[in-house]
Amino acid sequence: MQKIPFSPRRAALGLAAALALLATAGAQAQAAFPSHPIRFVVPYPPGGPTDLMARLLQPELAARLGQPVLVENKGGAGGNLGSAEVAKQAPADGHTLLLAASGPMAVNGSLYKSMPFNALIDLAPVIQISSFPLLFEVHPSTGIKTVKDFIAQARLRPGDFSFASAGNGTPQHLAGEMFGRAAGVKLAHIPYRGAGPALNDLVGGQVKVMFDVLGSSLQFVKTDKLTPLAVTSLKRSPALPNVPTMAEAGLAGFETTAWHGIVVRAGTPEPIIARLNSTLNAIFKDPAFRKKWEELGTPVVAGSAEQFGQLIRTESVRLGRVVRESGATAD
């Protein structure tokens, strides 16, 4: 066999041809997308905030992508079942979207002994879509009006204050754990099967303290059935402009939110992810849509796929540490 001598020029031409072929294939994939209806998987039951976000986005995505968008609720195991279906079974072609929540994306890996998927490996970020502040609130019967007063009372009677949550590893639970450590107080945790039952008992006075997604508690605050002490975001909420942030209340740097985004199966071509990201950014720039979105209780976030990926990685470390320190498990 004749040996062909190495030629730098021939190698460079070959590399250029390969790159051109990849670029052409990527452009063709983007041009052909979407070629059929899109599944929009929500890993929780109908009716909650995650489902409401998907229902708001559904008609906008369909109109801009030119294909029907079908919302499918696949609840169970703290969001793991629906998330695992997209991560392990969906084609990596952008036609299956997952409305990803902070639980399955950044918390459950530390909460469950065995996970059916790895959020950092099996899923690819498209865009962040929400950042819900939580509201630190108490029952009016406590007589407490400020975070400073609460900390003083909790230190005076250690162990007497219990806080309700939607369950182990939920944003409500982790916010309470983070607050206890930051404030140097002992708070007993009472996990419920969902935020609804926990909030009902808080309003009824069976429990006295809760960190809840602001939008869920707003009606009870406005009717004086609950007393708001602070929000857990770095900025005040437009919905409750007179309620201070945790930092303003004395806990410098305190921040935690319940966030959501859209992801696809890992391996989805970058041009398709870019098309989805640009489409969603365009939706969030529409003033009429922004108004409806903000009525859910979250500011518009949007941004790049890379920014959302960085958030997932950072929160996986931060929230995972909180879970481990709390000793909570879901198994």
CB 190 within 8 A of CB 163: yes
Phi first, then psi: what are they for 97, rounded to 5°? -105, 145
Say yes or no to pLDDT of 3 above 80.
Answer: no
CB 88 within 8 A of CB 295: no
Residue-averaged pLDDT of the chain: 90
Say yes or no to pLDDT of 316 above 70.
Answer: yes
Say yes or no to pLDDT of 326 above 70.
Answer: yes
| Residue type at position 269 | P
Say yes or no to pLDDT of 219 above 60.
Answer: yes
Q: Region 308-331: what's the mean pLDDT?
A: 91
pLDDT value of position 62: 98
Q: Region 310-331: what's the mean pLDDT?
A: 90
Residue 34: asked if its preceding bond is cis (omega within 30°), the reply is yes
Q: How far is CA 157 from CA 106, 160, 185, 187, 303, in A?
A: 34, 6, 10, 10, 45
At 133-176, the pLDDT tens digits run 999 999 999 999 999 999 999 999 887 889 999 888 889 999 99
What's the whole-model pTM score?
A: 0.83
Q: pLDDT over 70 for what percent of the chain? A: 90
Instruction: Give the whole-angstrom CA distance, residue 209 versus residue 262.
Output: 32
Q: pLDDT over 90 for what percent of the chain? A: 74
pLDDT value of position 1: 46
Say yes or no to pLDDT of 98 above 50.
Answer: yes
Q: Region 99-114: what's the mean pLDDT?
A: 94
Walk me through the domains of the chain, giving residue ranges and CATH numbers: 36-132+257-326 (3.40.190.150), 133-231 (3.40.190.10)
Say yes or no to pLDDT of 271 above 50.
Answer: yes
pLDDT value of position 2: 53
Say yes or no to pLDDT of 102 above 80.
Answer: yes
Say yes or no to pLDDT of 192 above 70.
Answer: yes
Residue 331 in tokens = 């198994």
Which value, in Å, is the radius of gyration of the alpha carbons in the chain?
23
Say yes or no to pLDDT of 309 above 50.
Answer: yes
More confident residue, 161 or 13: 161
Q: Which of 289, 284, 132, 146 is nearest to 216 (CA)?
A: 132
pLDDT value of position 236: 92
Say yes or no to pLDDT of 6 above 80.
Answer: no
H-type helices in the chain, by residue range?
8-32, 49-65, 80-88, 102, 108-111, 119-122, 147-156, 171-183, 195-204, 214-222, 270-285, 287-294, 305-326
At 28-68, the pLDDT tens digits run 555 689 999 999 999 988 888 889 999 999 999 999 999 99
